[in-house]
A and B are shown apart, each in its own frame.
Chain A
Amino acid sequence: MKIFTYLKFCLLITLISTTTSCFEIIEEVDLKSDGSGTMAYTLNMSKSKAKLASIMLLDSVNGFKVPSREDIQNGLDDIVLELKKAEGITNIKKTADYDNFVFSVKCDFKKIDNINKMTNEVWSKQKNKTPLSSYFFDSSKGSFKRQYSYTGDVKKQYNRLKAENKKVFDDASYTVIYRFDKEITSQNNQQAKVSKSKKAVMQRISAIDIINGKGDINNQIQLKK
């Protein structure tokens, strides 16, 4: 049977080296005038599903251990657990589509600062110095702010990757969407667009721009009073 294991291996390696890999992340914030709202994170890797399905049949690839379905499930469960512990965060939902490799986590928050606190805690636990971002909303003034600081750590980590691993980020993108229940009067990020309804802002940046610090997701949005 050894020979069949070998054949399987050959075939998988060829599949992995020939099929493409890329992913997109969508961050959504739906904010109501009272400061409460919904936050959702979606990781869509379906463009790479042929590759991922092959990779998941191997133990490791390009020097990295391949997470099993169980590992991914545990990872998602950990996120949910962390969210459940956080103050002011409710209605946590996760979805995992292993056929298309689309994973998402969604939750409601009482105020946007609940999200900041939660992410800060997680970040400090992991001793992570990667870019920190925070949201601010002043309901009396109707002003929303997304603050993001680029530290260069991401680039350092990226540069440490081998060329074949770097490739994963070539076509990857990060999309940020903010939706409000009032119309937007102004927003100051030139890379972002306001929707026709004027109640939403969207910005799509390539992962490479985020890594290099070229992609700026700082934004100050003013809503109609």
Chain B
Amino acid sequence: MKKLLCSLMLCFSAFAIAQDTTTKIPNDAVVVATIKGNNLLQLMSMEELNNSFVGAEILKEVSKKENKYNSLEDFGFNLGASSHYFFQVNDSINYNTIIIPIKDVNKFESFLKDQNNKEIVNQNGVKSFKDQNDGAIVWNDSVLIMVIGSTNDFYFENEEVINRYGLESEDYSSYEEFIDGAEEVVEVEEYVIESTEVYEEVEIEEVEEEIEETVIESTEIYEEDTDEDEEDYSYYNDYYNSNYTKKKELAKKWSMSKAIELLSQPVSKSILQNKSYLKSLDDKAEATLWISDFSSIYDNLFGSMYYRQLGGLNLGSMYADSGLTAKLFLEKDKLQLITTYTMSDEMAESYKKMTSNKLNKKFLKYINEDRMIGYMSYSISTKAALDEYPKLMKNLYSSMPSYGEEAGLAIDLFSLLLDEEAVSKVLPGDMLFLLSGISQRDVTYTTYEYNDDYEYVEIENTKTETVPDFLLMISTEDARFLNKFINYSIKKQLVTYENGYYVLTIPQSPLDVFFAIKDGIVFIGTSELEMNKIIKGTFDAKVSSKHKKLLLDSNYSAYLNGKQLASKIPMEDMSKDMVDKLNWFLNNTEDGYIKSSKIKGNSMDAEMVIEVPSTEENALKYLFNIIETFSK
């Protein structure tokens, strides 16, 4: 019964989604990004979009003297439906594809003709340009598909493949130089022809034959294309011998086949059969991103490259069963991006241990929200990291063909020599960086004083600079090593000690850095006043429960108070234009934060939120206003 219900649900969702273009996304796509036009248009009407700065700029850009566009709808696209980007990998070629739904094909085609006067051909309802550029573009009455393919070099080094496509066997290093620039290619070819005059005719004939074979082999279905391409080939005749050109031609052909295949793809072959993808969907999100499996992407995409350049690192195993989903929500009061990273059992186990440490609660005693501009906190377990990292590294290096064993030994030796416990006592692994304010400092500069003969002497003047104040807090359970290090620095006169704290003077910088160790915390900061308060125990702390929660519940958090930042930047040093923008920013910003949650099961969530000021209707309009203000 449950199964039946699930199947029904699946059918229903497939039907519901079949109304848009998701069915065109193939089952083997490894990355899918979607923008939902319908949700966006609920936040901003077509009219508002056309009248917005971005909309107006686009319309201005495409409008010509004779053809004026008044609405983005005039391009013929269905802006109320979802558009997708997806990525497919395989051994020979990787495809980047964009799918945009079409509402009015006549409008769309007249828009195309208006923009680039290319001839359109129609083969059984599949339309494309007669002359294609590198990417393949096809469309029918309801959807546009654009495919850009890039071939994998490693695949084309296989002897059988080289013979099949009439490529020249060559070693990779010279190939890289070869493709660096077309000019270089021409030079090399000229040289080859000159120096092998006797064989010139034979060689070129052979290559021509091979290419013709290739064409027949790879485009069985589209024979008509072959004729056009022969014309192209004559154009590229000079570059015939270059593998680069041949591979590019193959990529073009394969991309075209792929685009046509996608256009008529049945639902049964679509990504709607993929449970992981279906799970990542969210009706309320304005945009989504889904990455299926990092290991297969790495294996296919970088496998050959890493094998060669990094001596065979086992990245596939490190990212086994790991995927990511991201959802963007544009709401009335906030812009929210939620990402979920899923990993293998083994990695999750390691991560759990490494992120088991909590942020030191005592840090909260040194935060004053009224003065603070922002912060960033970070907490990992140093001991677990030192225990787990070598294991991960060992796994990563184990498949290295030549030094795998040696790397393993070196990692074991590292673990053996290192006292993880002792290191974690010195630095348990949590820290908080506070941008605690902005203050004025006197700085000196060189200027000149002139005598009666206008001869001058250099003099030193002082002026006031505005500098940021920060306070960095790092937990320590055993300060003995740090104290030794400080004592050494005092002996070497790099550091001075006064009133209970240390001073490090940085040459050329208006900042002096003060530091102290107290209550198991290393304090490093730029404000002498604050350092004084910390040492005397008179720090006037003020933290709301919102920040307490954000700091203590996350392994990583970052927060920025837009209003506070804008109000503290000195306007007198800004140009008028910047002052206007800053004023806008000052009146139109709220808080923003990022946090990452503890690992749950095999997945870890991270959230980014930018709050929308009450003067703005919703997050989308807010984004458009930001773009407008800062583009003008």
Contacts and interface: CB of A to CB of B under 8 A. Distances in A.
Contacts of B125: none
A170 B438 contact: no
A179 B456 CA distance: 12
Interface stretch (B50-58, B319-327, B572-580): B572-580
B467 interface: yes
A197 interface: yes
B455 A163 contact: no
A113 to B, nearest CB: 24
Contacts of A179: 453-455
Contact of B577 (A14, A18, A100, A163): A163
Nearest to B506: A53
A189 interface: no
Nearest to A202: B454
B466 interface: yes
Contacts of B445: 46-47, 49, 100
A164 to B, nearest CB: 7
Interface in B483-525: 507-511
Nearest to B526: A11
A18 B569 contact: yes
Interface residues of A, number: 38
Interface in A88-112: 97, 99-100, 102
A182 interface: no
Closest 9 CB pairs of A and B: A200-B454, A14-B468, A196-B452, A53-B508, A46-B446, A46-B445, A163-B577, A18-B466, A50-B510
A195 B435 CA distance: 51
A186 interface: no
23 contacts: A7-B472, A10-B376, A10-B435, A14-B438, A15-B468, A18-B468, A18-B569, A19-B510, A24-B447, A26-B456, A44-B447, A47-B463, A49-B443, A50-B510, A54-B509, A97-B446, A163-B577, A177-B454, A195-B452, A195-B453, A197-B453, A200-B453, A202-B450
B509 A3 contact: no
B452 A18 contact: no
A26 B455 CA distance: 12
B450 A100 contact: no
Nearest to A54: B509
Contacts of A47: 445, 447, 463
A15 B578 contact: no
B155 interface: no
A50 B509 contact: yes
Given A7-B433, A99-B508, A195 B454 contact: yes
B465 interface: yes
Contact of B446 (A15, A44, A177, A195): A44
A100 B443 CA distance: 11
Contacts of A7: 376, 433, 472
B601 interface: no
Interface string B453-471: 1111000000101111010
Nearest to A171: B573
A47 B448 CA distance: 12
A143 interface: no
Contacts of A18: 438, 465-468, 569-570, 573
Interface string A8-21: 00110011011110
Contacts of B450: 202
A24 B450 CA distance: 15
Nearest to A195: B454
B575 A167 contact: yes
Interface in A150-197: 163-164, 166-167, 170, 177, 179, 195-197
A87 B577 CA distance: 48
A145 interface: no
A199 interface: yes
Contacts of A26: 448, 456
B378 interface: yes
Contacts of B574: 167
